[in-house]
Amino acid sequence: MTDFDVTEYFEHRRVQVNAALDAALAQSEDDPGRLREAMRYAVLDGGKRMRPLLVVAACEAVGGSVEAALPAACAIEMVHAYSLVHDDLPAMDDDVERRGKPTVHVAFGDANAILVGDALLTHAFTTLASGATAAPDGRLLQAVVSLAHHSGIDGMVGGQALDLQVGQDVDDLAMLERVHALKTGGLYAASGAMGALSGGAQDEVAARLEAFGLAFGIAFQHADDVLDDDQPALREKALGRVDELTANCLDQVASLGEAAEPLRGIARWVAHRAHAAHRGEIKD
């Protein structure tokens, strides 16, 4: 066991990520249709910031700095926020509240919500590209490709389409994990890869941290399903898979030394979260 305090790590790094997001989404008098205001509304109020935290931890694991990781960390959170704005729309999940406040389409209108999602997606790539001086060698281009790949039809968007196709009551674990791997795992895979690349990692290490992110993302979604009592018929199998996926994460970073301790703490955290939810000890 380790005495690494993952809760303290989360709290400290969230402060840094939130400050970077606030700066990247600075308000301006030039705000057509209140889009800048709505972008800040969608991103800055609430959220666990797990994807950017993974970016930062991956960067640190390969010897990079928090500062080098922040452009990619902000970019991944903007993509995540855009996906939530669009998921909440009446044509998708039709949710009227998120994180205890009205969803973007309720607060700003349906048309503006579509534009807010579009604006966050495109601004994510502007923000990522702003890290060109921080990312060594040609790693920035690889990071851009990773984010685009895992955000699109071969990742998050494809997963959302598959989720709509198969519906809510999935009774096959392999199909459920295919959805989770694309819809949730995609952005976590990009987080691991971009963090490693921001820290100057070579291709083999970046691939391992991409695999870490994918396994973590699937485990994270299984834990969420337990918390929300989704897919109850698969609960026991899902809990077993969380343990297997956590072990996979730990294997991916076994050779990285003490600098990867935050990644190990993050992996153990998701396993604890899933089992604590199963025992009814946590609700969020």
Structure confidence at residue 1 (pLDDT): 42
Classify residue 80: in a domain, yes or no: yes
Q: How much of the chain, in percent, has pLDDT values that exceed 70?
A: 97
**Torsion-angle region of residue 179: left (phi > 0), alpha (psi -120 to 50) or beta?**
alpha
1 in any annotated domain: no
Q: Which range among 191-200, 228-237, 268-277 shows the weakest confidence by mean pLDDT?
A: 228-237
pLDDT at 53: 98
Residue range 50-59: average pLDDT?
Answer: 98
pLDDT at 203: 94
Specify the range with the lowest mean pLDDT, choosing from 88-92, 100-104, 130-134.
130-134
Please count the structural domains in the chain. 1
In a domain, 134, yes or no: yes
Q: What is the pLDDT of residues 160-191, one digit of tens each?
A: 999 999 987 888 999 999 999 999 999 999 99
| 231 located within any domain | yes
Work out the average pLDDT over 78-100.
95
State which residues form the domain around 97: 6-278
Q: Does residue 59 lie in a domain region?
A: yes
Q: What CATH number does residue 22 fall under?
A: 1.10.600.10
List the single range of 48-52, 125-129, 130-134, 136-140 with lowest mean pLDDT.
130-134
Mean pLDDT, all residues of the chain: 94
The pLDDT tens digits for 219-248 are 999 999 999 888 888 999 999 999 999 999
Three-state secondary structure readout of the chain: CCCCCHHHHHHHHHHHHHHHHHHHCCCCCCCHHHHHHHHHHHHHCCCCCHHHHHHHHHHHHCCCCHHHHHHHHHHHHHHHHHHHHHHCCCCCCCCCEECCEECHHHHHCHHHHHHHHHHHHHHHHHHHHCCCCCCCCCHHHHHHHHHHHHHCCCCHHHHHHHHHHHCCCCCCHHHHHHHHHHHCHHHHHHHHHHHHHHCCCCHHHHHHHHHHHHHHHHHHHHHHHHHHCCCHHHHHHHHHHHHHHHHHHHHHCCCCCHHHHHHHHHHHHHHHHHHHHHCCCCCC
Domain-located, residue 225: yes
Predicted TM-score (pTM) of the model is 0.96
